């Protein structure tokens, strides 16, 4: 049998250490529910079925998936389905990848007010981009925007930021308008300043109205000082290079909308109450080792609250802008570059015999086993 230390997975680590962690940490119900889902995914607790080749060449027992969006081992099909849906939305034009990051000084506020801070981040990014694009000096047209929320860094610490896919042009009432300067979308320093101003102003208003709670020990005077300090610092807003299509950006974003803050392939070892995993560093890849309790804490920190929309669509990519999207599509010509596949995900449910290629046939459903791991009651 393969040793846990040699080839660990997130599920292995949770099964080994989560019970002790839960006994010493207060966790919201939705976080405990996520932890339970990770531990019972593709086990007999969820049930399954036996499939066999009609020719008798092969058979297997297939356990059901938890389908929780934080699970790194069962979301490939849903990611592929999301990418397929974007085919109907994505326009055949150039696209840009833009990233808006909140300063770490706001992390305590974020943890206390996740829902409200998430709403503010999405709203201020949307308003900033639309203000620039609708200005005739820059484009004078409505763009298409797909924004996705990420809350973690490569080391799984709190790092709230939005990744945005943005069309190169937009719709000016009845016609498609392309940006005037090829390879140049918006003045990034000006965008940063406007985003910073909008977010701090909205956040201050929400605090004054009692819609956002200050951390324990922080007075309004201290908040005002912090706000003024952040208003003088440079925030991280990046505009990446232009793409002739949007598929590459969407494939990148799709890897983070499901599966949680770390993939199993990044976990290198789990022994002596410690977990080691790789991460991107300034000079290639590096390895970080954490106590198992800290590893679990960092992972569960990013479980989204129920009904949180981590992907949102704006402008001509909004879910209600079907007519505008069709009008734009009729004005554009298909992009010639077709060399990038839509899905970079592996097959999650291979349903053919690996010997003869025949479709596997479901022959029986074994009974579910009793759950023996801690229940998220």
CATH number of the structural domain spanning residue 171: 3.40.1310
What distance in Å separates the CA atoms of residue 254 and residue 248, rounded to the nearest whole number?
10
258 alpha-carbon distance from chain centroid: 6
Reported confidence tier of residue 340, pLDDT bands at 50, 70, 90: very low
Residue 366 predicted with pLDDT over 70: no
Give the separation between CA 43 and CA 373, rounded to whole angstroms.
11
Of 248-252, 271-275, 364-368, which gets the smallest average pLDDT?
364-368
DSSP code for 352:
B
10 and 106 part of one domain = no
Q: Identify whether residues 107 and 60 lie together within a single domain.
A: no
Whether residue 119 sits in one domain with residue 58 = no
**Percentage with pLDDT > 70 across the chain:** 89
Q: Say how far apart CA 280 and CA 287 lie, in whole Å.
A: 9
User: For residue 349, what pLDDT is reported?
Assistant: 54
**Do residues 207 and 214 make contact, with C-beta atoms less than 8 angstroms apart?**
yes
pLDDT greater at residue 178 or residue 338:
178
Is residue 109 located within the same domain as residue 241?
yes
* Domain span holding position 189: 76-261+301-331
Residues 49 and 190 occupy one common structural domain: no
Statement to judge: residues 324 and 367 lie in one domain: no
Q: How many domains does the chain have?
A: 2
Give Dmax (Cα) for the chain. Answer: 76
Lowest mean pLDDT among 114-118, 209-213, 341-345: 341-345
pLDDT at 3: 40
What pLDDT score was predicted for residue 5? 44
CB 165 within 8 A of CB 87: no
pLDDT at 35 over 60: yes
Q: pTM of the prediction? A: 0.86
Is 177 contained in some domain? yes
- Using 50, 70 and 90 to split pLDDT, how confident is the model at 87? confident
Residue 128 domain flag? yes
Q: What is the mean pLDDT of the chain?
A: 86
Asked whether the CA dihedral 183, 189, 192, 198 is positive or negative, the reply is negative
The per-residue pLDDT for 367 is: 66
CA distance 53 to 51: 7
Highest mean pLDDT among 173-182, 241-250, 300-309, 339-348: 300-309
For position 376, what pLDDT does the model report? 46
Residue 337 pLDDT greater than 50, yes or no: no
Does any domain span residue 215? Answer: yes
Considering the domain architecture, whether residues 126 and 14 belong to the same structural domain is answered as no
Same domain, 65 and 91: no
| Pair (308, 360) in one structural domain | no
For residue 338, tell me if it sits in a domain. Answer: no
Higher pLDDT, 55 or 291: 291
Which one is predicted more confidently, 45 or 148?
148
Inside any domain, residue 345? no
| Alpha-carbon distances of 112 from 25, 34, 109, 227, rounded to whole Å | 17, 20, 5, 17
Asked if 135 and 39 sit in the same domain, the reply is no
Is residue 89 assigned to a domain?
Answer: yes
- For residue 269, being part of any structural domain is answered with no
Candidate from 216-220, 327-331, 347-351 with smallest mean pLDDT: 347-351
Residue 360 lies in a domain: yes
Q: 66 and 143 share a domain?
A: no
* Rg (the chain; Cα; Å): 24
C-alpha pair distances (Å), 106 with each of 78, 100, 110, 205, 223: 32, 14, 6, 15, 10
What pLDDT shows up at residue 311? 94
19 and 165 share a domain?
no
């Amino acid at each position: 049998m393969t040793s846990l230390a040699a080839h660990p997975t997130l599920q292995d680590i949770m099964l080994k250490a989560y019970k002790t962690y839960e006994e010493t940490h207060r966790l919201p119900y939705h976080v405990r529910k996520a932890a339970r889902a990770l531990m019972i995914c593709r086990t007999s607790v969820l049930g399954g079925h036996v499939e066999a080749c009609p020719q008798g060449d092969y058979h297997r027992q297939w356990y059901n998936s938890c389908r929780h969006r934080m699970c790194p081992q069962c979301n490939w099909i849903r990611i592929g389905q999301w990418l397929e849906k974007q085919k109907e939305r994505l326009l055949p034009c150039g696209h840009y990848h833009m990233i808006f990051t909140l300063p770490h000084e706001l992390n305590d506020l974020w943890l206390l007010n996740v829902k409200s801070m998430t709403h503010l981040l999405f709203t201020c990014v949307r308003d900033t981009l639309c203000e620039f694009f609708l200005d005739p000096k820059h484009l004078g047209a409505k763009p298409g925007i797909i924004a996705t929320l990420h809350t973690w860094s490569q080391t799984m610490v709190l790092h709230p930021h939005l990744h945005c896919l943005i069309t190169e042009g937009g719709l000016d009432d009845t016609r498609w308008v392309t940006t005037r300067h090829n390879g140049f979308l918006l003045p990034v320093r000006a965008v940063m300043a406007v985003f910073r101003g909008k977010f701090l102003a909205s956040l201050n208003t929400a605090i004054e109205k009692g819609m956002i709670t200050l951390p324990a020990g922080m007075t309004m005077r201290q908040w005002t000082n912090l706000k003024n300090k952040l208003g003088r610092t440079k925030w991280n807003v990046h505009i990446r290079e232009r793409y002739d299509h949007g598929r590459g950006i969407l494939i990148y974003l799709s890897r983070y909308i499901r599966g949680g803050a770390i993939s199993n392939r990044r976990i290198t070892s789990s022994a002596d109450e410690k977990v080691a995993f790789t991460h991107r560093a300034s000079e290639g890849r590096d390895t970080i080792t954490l106590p198992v309790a800290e590893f679990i804490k960092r992972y569960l920190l990013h479980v989204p609250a129920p009904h949180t929309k981590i992907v949102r669509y704006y402008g001509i990519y909004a879910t209600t802008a079907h007519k505008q999207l069709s009008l734009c599509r009729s004005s554009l010509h298909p992009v010639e570059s077709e060399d990038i596949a839509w899905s970079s995900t592996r097959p999650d449910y291979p349903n053919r015999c690996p010997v003869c290629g025949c479709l596997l046939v479901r022959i029986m459903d074994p009974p579910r086993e009793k759950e023996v791991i801690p229940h998220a009651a």
